[in-house]
Structure 1
Amino acid sequence: MSSDGLGRPGSESSTFGNRAVSVPCFQFERDGSFTRREISKAEIIEYARKKTALPPPRLIKRWLNAYNDQSPNLDMLSEQLDIKGDYKRQRKVLRKYLKTSLQPRDLRQVDPAFPQKPAIWVRHSAIIASLEQVRSIIFHDTMLLFDPDNSVVKRCTQFVQETLYSSGYEEMFLPFEFRALEGFIIFVTTVLEFDFLRVSEEVKKSIGDPRSMLTTTVLEDMRIDKQKLSHFISRACIVHDVITELLEDDEDMANLYLTEKHRSPWVIRDSLDHEEAEMILESYLQIMDDLTTKAKLLDHEIDDTEDLVSIHLDTLRNRLIMMQMLLSVIGLGVALGSLIAGMFGMNLPIPIFESEFSQWWFLGTSVLIIVLLVVVPFFSVTYLRKQSLYSGSIGSPMGNFDGVD
């Protein structure tokens, strides 16, 4: 158990389905040290509410739902929060506080029993981050990493520890929650960068020479690499969208300053005053932009390679068709010669065979057959070329395709 009053270690490890049941997690302190412990949903909610000087959300909700609109409790709370305006504005600001306070349903995001939804939620006294199999809750002085038996979470602890382990001078300019969130995002971007390098090497290896891809094994490997790249693009786009969504919400950006709200709970920060948080998130958003752009360009390169392979296959198919066409034309000439030879070779009495010039008839018939074997294919190919149905020649039946070989 830590000395910050976050709760007592539980003796039973399970899901958050029961308020009394605890789940294991890594708890990080300001100096980067961390311990493994167990914590329940009730302890997390109680700790989040203790870190603010405001009344419990249930009490504020009871005041807002009271029949007496001029509640003295609400007036006093509005004075403490320096909420200027009429009663409607007071109710609007306080309802916004209720909306941004940590609720039990928010803990589903970090519960391993529920499917993970990639997101970074900013609450009044906590930041809930869930990306790349890592689930975390960040307070102004403590960070919890859930599912500690997961190998990905164990790797994340190294990045968070290195980020939190800083001098007092750095801490003076960058509060704990920013360093913890930055360590979390550094791990996510590093994992994506490493995965992109691995996938890109496999893809570039598979799309080397298109002429060597005309095998089932190579084409199947390229299909698998394309699936891996598509999966990576989906992961990178999800992280990119989560950071972009947070950057576009000025109120959430202002609520990131948990340490400031802990020190001055009655001061409401201007929703446009979040330069430090914006600079941190913009730097990692730029990294994600670069990764997604490179991945999409590589995906387009695979598509271009597939188109080139398809063109190469079509070219080979056309060559085979031309070869078949040429053989058919030659077969036509042979068939005509066979027809003439067959007619003269029939066992029938023909006067020309009994004349003294029979040898000349034989020689003439033989010459005619030879001429047909040459002339018929030649004129047939010439006609097909005029009709743009054949682009080869008799001497080169496979055609002439520049740039393919």
Structure 2
Amino acid sequence: MRGPRPEDFDTNAGHPTPTFPAGGSRKKGMGVRTWLVLCSSGKEQATEAGKHTIMRRTGLPARDLRILDPLLSYPSTVLGRERAIVINLEHIKAIITGQEVLILNSKDPSVAPFIEELQRRIRCHHHATKPQEGVNTEGAAQGEAGTSQLSGEEARKDKKQSLGNQDGSKVLPFEFVALEACLEAAITSLESEAVRLELEAHPALDKLTIKINTLNLERVRQIKSRLVAITGRVQKVRDELEKLLNDDEDMAEMYLTDKLAQKQLENSTASSTSDTVVVDLPEGDEDDRHVADYFEHATLVSSESCHRGSDAHNLLMRAHSALSRNSRGTSSTRSGMTNKLNVQELEMLLEAYFVQIDGILNKLSTLTEYVDDTEDYINIMLDDKQNNLLQMGVMLTTAGLVMSLFIAVAGVFGMNINIELFNDEVAGPGKFMWTVVGGTAGSLFLYFGAIGWYKHSRLLE
């Protein structure tokens, strides 16, 4: 690597100081951006945060944040991570967590309608789940001792029952409400652009078929360029949704509310069981009900056989090993069944927008076929005109050849020779006229004979 040159240093001071480009300070400050934060209650707050702050807040790696960088050109992407969902769809650049939504380009005029719609949906979701949360809180206060013994499956059922309206209708989790708003805004934008392009394309193509000129050709060229660009964007969104629908694990990663509820359940159960026996549990054990049963059994046996200290210790170790095997298998089975059931909910949401984006792509494909058909028609017309020009060229060339023969005869008669035809007393003007008329008739006969032979040979139509 080349070191700094001597002219890169400022020698006016006591010690040489390297001078850096003027844009260095600007690049250093580019990491801090303005984010619009929408909490689960619908309140908004604009905050300035750097890359590392967002990483700590959402748990996302740096490579996922680069997807949202407006200075970089990344295609449409939907990523599900452990604590957040990254959305990069058209003009929508957001991060969805289990409790809030962070929007990057909130000052963009095209994003303002999306923010209003998202805020309205979040408030509706908050009002729909707030009464149920109040009821669940009162029930939890009355039966605090009983709820500590609930299994993971029962707790998830209570969580799902809380996500419902008073009339019994299902309410989506917070992250799915925000995800649905992002998908609808992006797909609606693409659909409106596709409809506008279709309305402009048909009249321009019809004018081109009627009259081929430079203005109409330039207009169709611009429309085709826009059509190729929007088709690529729609195809990318469709591929991203199809990729999510084909991978259940990616969809399971997007259940942020269930992850938060499961984490709270594990923390509460761990704190309740720690009062009885203090043992380091291995990671991945999710069935805490078996934990209480095994350790309660081990405690009873050890109290009855207190005079056998070594036997009680061995029994406790065997119970812990059996717990590890049994709990690991049971938790994996129940987790798989729960994810399968939960994924169906997200799958239905994604399929609805997949069908919509697929319809937009079909519409653009139809428009592309119409443009291609128009191009084929224009090429056929141009080929026909070119054929007509070639036929006219053949006829003119033949006429020129016949005229050159007549001119050759006139040149022969123009030579300075003495013959009786040039003697007025012998030939007279009558023979001269017969010579001119005969040469003209012979030329016409040769011309029409050549044209007839061309048509007989199918060289001319």
How much does 1:293 deviate?
1.4
CA deviations 1:227-261 (Å, max 9, x no partner) are 11101011111111111111111011122221122
Once residues 16 and 163 of structure 1 are traced to their aligned partners in structure 2, the CA distance between those partners, rounded to angstroms, is 37
Once residues 313 and 22 of structure 1 are traced to their aligned partners in structure 2, the CA distance between those partners, rounded to angstroms, is 58
8 Å contact 2:207–2:216 — kept in the other structure? no
Partner residue of 1:207 out of 205, 208, 226:
205
Percent identity at matched positions? 29
Query: What RMSD over aligned residues (CA atoms) do the two structures have, in Å?
Result: 2.7
Distance 1:278 1:379, change over 3 A: same
SS in 1 for 2:415: coil
CA deviations 1:67-103 (Å, max 9, x no partner) are xxxxxxxxxxxxxxxxxxxxxxxxxxxxxxxxxxx43
Distance 1:15 1:197, change over 3 A: farther
Once residues 64 and 370 of structure 2 are traced to their aligned partners in structure 1, the CA distance between those partners, rounded to angstroms, is 42
Partner residue of 1:35 out of 20, 45, 58:
45
1:272 equivalent to 2:340? Answer: yes
Counterpart residue identity of residue 117, structure 2:
F
What is the number of residues matched between the two proteins?
325
How much does 1:272 deviate?
2.5
CA deviations 1:125-169 (Å, max 9, x no partner) are 211111213221111121111132333333421232233232544
Counterpart residue identity of residue 363, structure 2:
K
Distance 1:259 1:340, change over 3 A: same
Counterpart residue identity of residue 388, structure 2:
R
8 Å contact 1:175–1:259 — kept in the other structure? yes
How much does 1:359 deviate?
4.3
Alignment-derived partner of residue 87 in structure 2: 129
Partner residue of 1:24 out of 18, 21, 34:
34
Once residues 360 and 37 of structure 1 are traced to their aligned partners in structure 2, the CA distance between those partners, rounded to angstroms, is 110
Counterpart residue identity of residue 37, structure 1:
T
CA deviations 1:291-330 (Å, max 9, x no partner) are 1111122122212212221221221122112112112222
- Of 282-291 and 109-118, more deviation after overlay is shown by 109-118
SS in 1 for 2:78: strand
How much does 1:112 deviate?
4.1
Once residues 38 and 272 of structure 1 are traced to their aligned partners in structure 2, the CA distance between those partners, rounded to angstroms, is 39
Distance 1:205 1:283, change over 3 A: same
How much does 1:194 deviate?
1.3
SS in 2 for 1:110: coil
Partner residue of 2:117 out of 153, 159, 179:
159
1:297 equivalent to 2:366? Answer: yes
Superposition pairs of residues 306-385 of structure 1, within 5 angstroms: 306-354=375-423, 356-385=426-455
Ranges in structure 1 where 5+ consecutive residues have no aligned partner:
1-13, 50-101, 392-405
Once residues 321 and 340 of structure 1 are traced to their aligned partners in structure 2, the CA distance between those partners, rounded to angstroms, is 29
Alignment-derived partner of residue 142 in structure 1: 100
How much does 1:375 deviate?
0.9
Alignment-derived partner of residue 355 in structure 2: 286
8 Å contact 2:420–2:427 — kept in the other structure? no
CA deviations 1:185-216 (Å, max 9, x no partner) are 11100110111122222222221144444222
Alignment-derived partner of residue 108 in structure 1: 66
- Of 321-330 and 211-220, more deviation after overlay is shown by 211-220
Once residues 242 and 177 of structure 2 are traced to their aligned partners in structure 1, the CA distance between those partners, rounded to angstroms, is 19
- Of 250-259 and 347-356, more deviation after overlay is shown by 347-356
Ranges in structure 2 where 5+ consecutive residues have no aligned partner:
1-24, 130-162, 165-170, 267-285, 287-334
Once residues 204 and 211 of structure 1 are traced to their aligned partners in structure 2, the CA distance between those partners, rounded to angstroms, is 11
Once residues 114 and 356 of structure 1 are traced to their aligned partners in structure 2, the CA distance between those partners, rounded to angstroms, is 100
Alignment-derived partner of residue 89 in structure 1: none
Distance 1:372 1:152, change over 3 A: same
Alignment-derived partner of residue 80 in structure 1: none
SS in 1 for 2:445: helix
8 Å contact 1:116–1:133 — kept in the other structure? no
Counterpart residue identity of residue 327, structure 1:
L
Counterpart residue identity of residue 49, structure 2:
I
Counterpart residue identity of residue 129, structure 1:
I
Once residues 389 and 303 of structure 1 are traced to their aligned partners in structure 2, the CA distance between those partners, rounded to angstroms, is 31
SS in 2 for 1:390: coil
Determine which structure has more spread, i.e. the larger CA radius of gyration.
2
